[in-house]
Every structure is written in C-alpha cells, then in structure tokens.
C-alpha cells in the first residue's frame, strides 16, 4: 500500500507541477498563432523530459549523488562551473517570471498591479521553504496544482478536432511567419526541458533517500507524471487553438489567458483560471528557488537539505533567501510575458552544458554498475544532446527574429 501511495503521489506531483508560467504561456501562444501545428514540439519536449527525469532519478538512486554532484566529481569544478552558472542564471530568470505571473493572478482578483505583489509573493515562497520540508514543497504544491486540470476539461468542453491534433503531432514547415513559428517551437522546448526540473528531481531522490528497490517508482513517476503533465500543456494549446486562433487573437498579456477557461465555463471559469495560474506559478517559484540553493550548495560542497532546520544548513538557506530577495526586483521591473519568453529562450540555449554530461555519467560502469544505460537509453540521450546543441545556436537569434 505504501508503494502504491508513493506511485500515486509521484504521478499527481508530476501532473500538478508540470504546468507553470513558461509552459502555460508558450503553449497558449502557439495555439493562438498556429492552431494545432506546434503540438509536435510539446510531444518532443515531453518525451525528452521523461528520458532526462528517469535518467537523473536513476543516477541519484544508484550513485547516491545528485546530477550536480556527479557532474562536479566526474568532470571537476572547472567544467561544473558552466552548468552551475547557466543553471543559476536561467533559474533566476524563471523564478522572477513565476513571481511576476503569480502577481498577475493576484492582480486579477484585487486590481492591484502585479508589481506590488512581487515582494509579498516572494516572502510567501521564502516562508514555505524556511518552515516546510521537501515533501511539503514538492507534494503539497503539486497536489494543489492539480487545479490546472481545468484546462483539460475546458478543451474537452470545446470539442477539439482530434484528427487535426494528431496531425499536429508530426513536424511540418510553416507556410508563413517562419521565424515566429520556430521561436514558438524553441520556447516550448525550453519550457518543457528546463534543467531545473531534473536537478530538482535528483535532489529530491536523495532527500527522500530512495533505494534501488525504488527504481520502478522512478520510471513510473517519470513516465506517467511528466507525460500526464505534458498532456495538460497540450490541452492549453488545444484550448487556445479553439478560443483564440479562429478570431486571430495573438496572446500579448497573461490576463488574456483567462478566456481559455472563462469561455467554456462562463460561471466559474475565471475563478478556476486565477487559482490555476496563481497556485502553479507559486509552486514553481518555490521549487526553482530551492533548486538554485541545491545547485550552489552541491557545486561548492556545502551541506544541504530542505528536510533539516535552516540553522543547521545556514549557507544553503541563505542562497534561497537571497534568490527570493533579488528576484522580485526583476519581476516588478519587467513585463511578465516578455520575461517568460526571454527566460524560455535562454533556458533552451543552456541545455547542452547540463544534458551532455548525463550521456557520460549514465554509461560510467563504476558509477552506475548494472544500471548503466542500454542502447535505447543511449540513442535517446544522443538525440536529445544533438537537439540541445542545435537549440544553443538558434534560440537567441530566433528570440530576436521571432518577436521574443
């Protein structure tokens, strides 16, 4: 029964924790501008994330090291400084974005600008990390984030064309607006395969003291949790394709996204949208700030654990406290949607320094023993690595050409 409960919690955490500011914005923009055409990018991003999350969890279980610790030990701090700096910078941008969008949700309720909410939201996230433990941060916010399933029900209520959706799962060249199309694809991939997700996941596996008998749970959590979570993002794209695309509406502000739920559910859709937006983005902000602390502590060899009192790991706690102090300054000074689009492009560009080392680590016999990668896993990681290198060179130019 305990194992079944762990599997269930792992799956619902994946569903509730997948959708956040980046995946919501990029999916909605893609559906509004291109209908079902960019569904393939969400499918590709979901499959890539499933592979990376399963691999990072397996690495943590077998080696008793997080991804960050394994990279530092195997390649040295000189190389690890690359994913460390990239991870912290990208995560800081995404953290500011999540704080700003949580503020947008509060603005929709109170009429007070999101700029004024940035610091109170950050204070709430800091208090959650300061007083809570890893289980509360991960499973608590994930369970509350299940309200994001409202996008699934909204899409079903609007009766999508399943044939056209299936056709959109296959890549196709755009007839026009090529730069915006490919920037949309890059942004979706950046939102789906954000490195903080597998850094956070591997740290959680160590925090929860997973053993080798938990490897099946790791596979199920990675596959079903991330898969169902990606499915919700696809439903956001579908709903945008049905609500915005026929009317020629391009998403320019997060507030406009309320129509995605308010149209199919006129009586209570707005309230559900605000709940989904606020809860999912606030939960993501807490996880991202914690990931920044994990990366810094694991990179510098500082004792770390969210399950211990802050005073016992003072330097670790200081890092996420600093993140919550500085990120609201950026959140209050920028447009939330523009900040999200920029952070997704930068995320996509940062992927190689975090993804490429996994291919080496997962094939290290001394580190992984009998649980090292087999041929299918290596093929998948090679393809993801090639894609990551391509994204490195095209993401930032496309951000300028595609209006990001």
> 3-class secondary structure for the chain?
CHHHHHHHHHHHHHHHHHCCHHHHHHHHHHHHHHCCCCHHHHHHHHHHHHHHHHHHHHHHHHHCCCHHHHHHHHHHHHHHHHHHHHHHHHHHHHHHHHHHHHHHHHHHHHCCCHHHHHHHHHHHHHHHHHHCCHHHHHHHHHHHHHHHHHHHHHHHHCCCCHHHHHHHCCCCCCCCCHHHHHHHHHHHHHHHCCHHHHHHHHHHHHHCCCCHHHHHHHHHHHHHHHHHHHHHHHHHHHHHHHHCHHHCCCCCCHHHHHHHHHCCCCCCHHHHHHHHHHHHHHHHHHHHHHHHHHHHHHHHCCCCCCCCCHHHHHHHHHHHHHHHHHHHHHHHHCCHHHHHHHHHHHHHHHHHHHHHHHHHHCCCHHHHHHHCCCHHHHHHHHHHHHHHHHHHHHHHHHHHHCCC
Tokens linked to 216 = 């099946």
Q: Which two tokens stand for residue 380?
A: 């998948």
Query: Is residue 161 over pLDDT 80?
Result: yes
Average pLDDT over residues 15-40: 87
Which pLDDT does position 14 carry in this prediction?
58
pLDDT value of residue 17: 56
Confirm if 306 and 137 have CB atoms less than 8 A apart.
yes
pLDDT category of residue 33 using cuts at 50, 70 and 90: very high
**Domain tally for the chain?**
1
pLDDT (tens digit, 9 = 90+) per residue, 264-322?
Answer: 999 899 999 999 999 999 999 999 999 999 999 998 889 999 999 999 999 999 999 99
Contact 246, 33 (CB under 8 A): no
Q: To the nearest whole percent, how much of the chain has pLDDT over 90?
A: 67
Mean local confidence (pLDDT), 214-222: 88
> What's the pLDDT tens digit per position in 46-55?
999 999 999 9
As given in the structure block, the two tokens for residue 33 are: 């501008």
Record the pTM. Answer: 0.93
pLDDT at 7 over 60: no
Q: Is 393 exposed, middle or buried (0-12, 13-18, 19+ CB in 10 A)?
A: exposed
Q: How far apart are CA 154 and CA 378, in angstroms?
A: 38
Tokens in use for 67? Answer: 């991804």
pLDDT at 125 over 60: yes
pLDDT value at residue 139: 75
Rounded Cα gap, residues 333 and 339, in angstroms: 10
Q: pLDDT value at position 10?
A: 59
pLDDT at 394 (0 to 100) = 87
Residues 6+ apart with CB under 8 A from 114: 100, 101, 103, 104, 106, 107, 331, 332, 336
Confidence of residue 1 (pLDDT cuts 50, 70, 90): low
Report the C-alpha gap between 85 and 79 in whole angstroms.
10
Give the per-residue pLDDT at 215.
92
Crossing angle of the two packed helices 195-207 and 269-300, in degrees rounded to 10: 70
pLDDT at residue 9 tops 70: no
Spatial CA neighbour of 343 closest among 285, 300, 261: 285
- What is the pLDDT averaged over residues 68-92? 93
CATH code, 145: 1.20.1740.10
Say whether pLDDT at 402 is over 80.
no
Residue 28 has pLDDT above 80, yes or no: yes
Question: What's the confidence (pLDDT) of residue 21?
Answer: 86
Residues contacting 367, CB < 8 A, separation 6+: 59, 62, 63, 70, 74, 361
Find the domain containing 97 and state its range: 2-401
Q: Would you say residue 16 has pLDDT above 60? A: no
Tell me what the mean pLDDT of segment 367-382 comes to: 92
Say if CB 68 and CB 295 are below 8 A apart.
Answer: yes
Mean pLDDT of the chain: 90
| CB-based contact 240:28 (threshold 8 Å) | yes
pLDDT of residue 11: 58
User: Contact 98/20 with Cβ under 8 angstroms?
Assistant: yes
The model's pLDDT over 185-198, given as tens digits with 9 standing for 90+, comes to 999 998 888 888 88
């Amino acid at each position: 029964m305990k194992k079944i409960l762990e599997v269930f919690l792992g799956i619902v955490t994946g569903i509730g924790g997948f959708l956040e500011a980046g995946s919501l914005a990029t999916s909605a923009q893609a559906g509004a501008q291109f209908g079902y055409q960019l569904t393939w990018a969400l499918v590709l991003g979901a499959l890539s994330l499933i592979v990376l999350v399963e691999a990072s969890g397996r690495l943590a279980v077998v080696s008793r090291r997080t991804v960050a610790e394994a990279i530092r030990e195997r390649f040295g701090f000189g190389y690890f400084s690359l994913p460390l700096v990239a991870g912290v910078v990208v995560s800081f941008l995404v953290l500011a974005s999540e704080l700003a969008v949580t503020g947008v949700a509060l603005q929709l309720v109170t009429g007070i600008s999101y700029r004024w909410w940035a610091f109170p939201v950050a204070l709430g996230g800091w208090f959650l990390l300061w007083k809570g433990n890893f289980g509360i941060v991960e499973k608590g916010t994930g369970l509350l984030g299940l309200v994001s399933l409202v996008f699934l029900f909204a899409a079903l209520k609007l009766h999508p064309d399943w044939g056209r959706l299936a056709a959109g799962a296959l890549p196709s060249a755009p007839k026009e607006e090529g730069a915006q199309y490919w920037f949309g694809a890059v942004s979706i991939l950046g939102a789906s395969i954000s490195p903080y997700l597998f850094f956070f996941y591997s740290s959680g596996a160590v925090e929860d003291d997973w053993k080798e008998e938990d490897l099946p749970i790791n596979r199920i959590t990675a596959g079903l949790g991330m898969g169902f979570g990606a499915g919700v993002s696809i439903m956001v794209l579908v709903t945008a394709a049905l609500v915005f695309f026929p009317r020629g509406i391009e998403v320019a502000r997060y507030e406009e996204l309320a129509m995605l739920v308010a149209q199919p559910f006129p009586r209570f859709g707005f309230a559900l949208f605000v709940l989904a937006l606020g809860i999912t983005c606030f939960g993501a902000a807490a996880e991202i700030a914690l990931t920044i602390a994990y990366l810094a502590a694991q990179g510098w060899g500082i004792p770390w654990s969210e399950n211990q009192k802050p005073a016992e790991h003072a330097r670790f706690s200081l890092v996420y406290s600093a993140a919550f102090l500085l990120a609201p300054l950026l959140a209050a000074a920028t447009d939330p949607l523009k900040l999200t689009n920029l952070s997704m492009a930068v995320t996509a560009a940062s992927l190689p320094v975090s993804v490429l080392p996994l291919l080496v680590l997962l094939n290290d016999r001394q580190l992984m023993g009998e649980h090292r990668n087999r041929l299918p896993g290596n093929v998948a990681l090679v393809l993801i690595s090639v894609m990551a290198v391509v994204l490195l060179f095209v993401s930032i130019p496309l951000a300028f050409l595609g209006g990001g």
